Chain A
Amino acid sequence: MAEIPILDIQGVGKTYILNDSRIEALRDANLTVKKGEFVCLIGASGCGKSTLLRIVAGFEAPSAGQALMWGKPIAGPAPDRGMVFQDYGLFPWLSVRENIGFGPASRGRPKAEVRETVERFISLIGLTRFADAYPHQLSGGMKQRVAIARVLANDAEVVLMDEPFGALDAMTRERLQDELLELWQRTGLTVLFVTHSIEEAIFLSDRVVVMEPGPGRIASAHQVELARPRDVASPEFNEVRRELGARLHSHHAKKAA
């Protein structure tokens, strides 16, 4: 019997109706993701990468096709799929500790267990000193760590990340990329990561899925065979980057033609 993939996206399309006109954001997307895989979605704006992510999250229902998790259709958001937003989406009235504990507490876990989980994840992201700080007192990098911890503390199997490091400065971004990889390797999570940076995609993922706009669709997928930890300055890395860059540009050139 064939192994059931954790995520199976079958012919998914999404059309919005906006002021009586139909906007096709995504057409016939097909993608399977194995458990533990790190997949990046990359493409220019309007290629439907965020739409696809939001369909997997359950925030939007597909207009065509279906998205399956462990073979079952995705019906709405659920704790097994946690989203990390570019703008964090933390609850501003809750402290770091309470934000991380929000999921387990909402799901009715016993208080002692929630406390134990929260402390474990706070120390995992290195924010013990800021456990009682409110989001507005944190830097962007710290907020994004809390957002990641919040999803992990809730036993998410799939972490969906929508340009999570897009709003951060270059240094913080690199550090968070390292931290994310470390977490991913340690926990065996499955990650679906949206980015518009070729370098970020190659640095992080097992597989890069290239999408293109008008209407948004999956153009091609590329296995990244580089050994980890990856060195962005190595000739091998640059080779992959050039190859992928050419792919992306050829899609654009086709569109322009």
Chain B
Amino acid sequence: MSDVTLNQATVAPPLPALRLWRRVRPVLLSLIVPLLLLFGWHWAVAAGMTRLIPSPADVAEYMVDFAFGGIWDDAFSATLHIHLLASASRVYGGFVLAALVAIPLGLLIGRNALVRQLLDPFLQLMRPIPVTAWLPLSMILFGLGARSAFFLVFLGAFYPILLNTIFGVKNVEPRLFEAASMLGCRGNAQFFKVVLPAALPSIFTGLRLGLGLAWFVIVVGEMTGVPQGLGAVIMDGRTLSRTELVICGMIVIGIAGFLSDRVVVMLMNRLLRWSPSHHG
């Protein structure tokens, strides 16, 4: 009984220069569009097409001041880390809470008909209500401040995690239950041995979407009158007509959201090594 080779093609090792080019090429390609946009922005401001938007160079200068201070020394100088930390703690707090509620609930709804009949219609009815619409009510319920922001992030992250978990549980290949039961794994043991691992890719998809949305709604969440946070910075910037501050806040949220997505993707690729669509 001998073997066949692994289904992965083996490629001869390329030359070092070629290898370097292969790594650099995607980076260069991904930079083209942002650089063009940046140039367009710079050119538009220089040509006097707008007076309300600062040039990229101005924004860069404010960004340095926002992060390290020493240029303008105003109320926002060297405060980036404070706002970032405040926002990140709400984003992750709300996100983790959403995951802790949505994953078990999704597993239950997906597996148990009674729980599904009890909760699914209600949850589906609540789902179309946008997070922004919750803002006034959340301010009444949780007061002006961080708890409101926390709640809104929770709400924003909750549905994608819940729906993807339900989907994952409902779509376990029936064959795998048959295989498990003929091998002596029956009843509740199948939940941990079959349902959970089989649903994991979907759960991760939900977590990824949920975390993205958590960053998405943080601005809304921090409109509720919190003193710190990137959303608050953007709102302050708007009130004070300091567009460069608004843009700085946007950039930081974009980067923070991107980096936290990368962390989830790395974790996902590690845990889902077995899945053909997740390795790499």
A contact set with B: CB distance below 8 Å = 57-59, 76-79, 81-83, 85, 87, 89-95, 102-103, 106-107, 124-127, 129-130, 133-139, 141-142, 145, 150-151, 154, 172, 179
Q: How far is the CB of B205 from chain A (nearest CB, A)?
A: 16
- Residues of B near A95 (CB, < 8 A) are 274
Is B22 located at the chain interface by the 8 A CB criterion?
Answer: no
Whether B175 contacts A87 by the Cβ 8 Å rule is yes
Considering only residues 179-226 of chain B, those with a C-beta below 8 Å from chain A are 179-185, 189, 193-194, 197-198, 200
Number of interface residues of B (CB under 8 A): 28
Considering only residues 57-76 of chain B, those with a C-beta below 8 Å from chain A are none
- Docked Cα-Cα span, A151 to B182, in Å, equals 9
Query: Contacting B189 at CB < 8 Å: which of A59, A106, A134, A150?
Result: A106
Among B185, B198, B200: residue with most chain A CB under 10 A: B185
Whether B184 contacts A76 by the Cβ 8 Å rule is no
Whether B183 contacts A103 by the Cβ 8 Å rule is yes
Whether A92 contacts B275 by the Cβ 8 Å rule is yes
Whether B7 contacts A137 by the Cβ 8 Å rule is yes
From A79, which residue of chain B is reached at the shortest CB distance?
Answer: B184
Q: How far is the CB of B174 from chain A (nearest CB, A)?
A: 10
Whether A91 contacts B3 by the Cβ 8 Å rule is no
- Residues of A near B197 (CB, < 8 A) are 91, 93
- Docked Cα-Cα span, A47 to B6, in Å, equals 37
Whether A77 contacts B182 by the Cβ 8 Å rule is yes
- Residues of B near A82 (CB, < 8 A) are 182-183
- Docked Cα-Cα span, A37 to B161, in Å, equals 52
From A142, which residue of chain B is reached at the shortest CB distance?
Answer: B4
Query: Contacting B175 at CB < 8 Å: which of A57, A85, A102, A142?
Result: A85
Ranked 8 nearest A-B pairs via Cβ:
A126-B1, A103-B183, A106-B185, A77-B182, A136-B276, A89-B179, A134-B274, A107-B184
Whether A137 contacts B178 by the Cβ 8 Å rule is no
Whether A76 contacts B181 by the Cβ 8 Å rule is yes
The 24 sampled A-B contact pairs (Cβ below 8 Å) are: A76-B181, A77-B182, A78-B184, A81-B182, A83-B182, A89-B176, A89-B179, A91-B179, A91-B197, A93-B274, A93-B275, A95-B274, A102-B183, A103-B184, A126-B2, A134-B274, A135-B274, A136-B275, A139-B4, A141-B4, A142-B3, A145-B1, A154-B183, A172-B4
- Docked Cα-Cα span, A92 to B199, in Å, equals 12
1/0 contact trace for B1-13 toward A, CB 8 Å?
Answer: 1111011100000
Among B2, B197, B274: residue with most chain A CB under 10 A: B274
- Residues of B near A137 (CB, < 8 A) are 6-8
Is B270 located at the chain interface by the 8 A CB criterion?
Answer: no
- Residues of B near A138 (CB, < 8 A) are 6-7
Is B81 located at the chain interface by the 8 A CB criterion?
Answer: no
Query: Contacting B182 at CB < 8 Å: which of A79, A91, A126, A145?
Result: A79
**Would A89 and B8 be within 8 Å (CB), given that A106-B189, A106-B193, A134-B273 are in contact?**
no
- Docked Cα-Cα span, A85 to B278, in Å, equals 25
- Residues of A near B6 (CB, < 8 A) are 130, 133, 137-138
Given pairs A82-B183, A87-B175, 16 additional interface contacts (CB within 8 A)? A79-B183, A81-B182, A83-B179, A85-B175, A90-B179, A92-B275, A93-B200, A93-B275, A106-B189, A107-B184, A126-B2, A129-B3, A134-B273, A138-B7, A150-B183, A179-B1
- Residues of A near B198 (CB, < 8 A) are 93
Among B176, B179, B193: residue with most chain A CB under 10 A: B179
- Docked Cα-Cα span, A172 to B4, in Å, equals 10
